[in-house]
Amino acid sequence: MISTLTSGGANAWSLAATTTGPIFQGGRLKARYRQAQAASEQARLYYQQTALNAFREVADALISRQQFQEARAEQVEAVEAYREAVQVATDRYNAGKVSYYEVLEAQQQLFPSENVLSNIEASERLVIIQLYKSLGGGWNLKDNQWSATGAR
């Protein structure tokens, strides 16, 4: 290597260019460093956004579940009252005090109320499924387990 430096000016410059070549790259190293920092920041922000979305989904599902529970409790009371009204109307009809029209009227109020209750219960179950999904799932069944439950 010393002989290369002493043998001529051209070779010395060639050696100098070879050793400084990787150091001086016209700002390319700084640009790559900044690019890596930007990618790291982007990944961090994406992670934060994902976490915030997950928290929001869980909070929304919990609030919806609470609201459906309250609506279900109110609707259960209404259904029980209508069932009692049907029973009273049936008892009065059996005693011969009223026509069967009164029983039919009570039933016409009961059936829509029961339908609303079943819709609320279905929505409540869907919200619970959404809550499980927001929390990460965990209900993956294999095909043989799925068909064994009778569902499909």
Answer yes or no: is 11 within a domain: no
pLDDT at 5: 52
- Residues 66-100 have pLDDT tens digits of 999 999 999 999 999 999 999 999 999 999 999 99
pLDDT at position 146 over 60? no
**pTM here?**
0.61
34-48, pLDDT tens digit by residue?
999 999 999 999 999
Q: Is 2 within a domain?
A: no
3-state secondary structure 68-124: HHHHHHHHHHHHHHHHHHHHHHHHHHHCCCCCHHHHHHHHHHHHHHHHHHHHHHHHH
The residue-averaged pLDDT of 111-133 equals: 94
If one counts the domains in the chain, the total is 1
Q: Is residue 15 part of a domain?
A: no
Whether 78 maps to a domain, the answer reads yes
Cα distance between residue 86 and residue 75, in whole Å: 16
What was the pLDDT predicted at 143?
57
Query: Considering the domain boundaries, does residue 21 fall inside one?
Result: no
List the domain range (segments joined by +) for residue 66.
29-138
Residue 145 lies in a domain: no
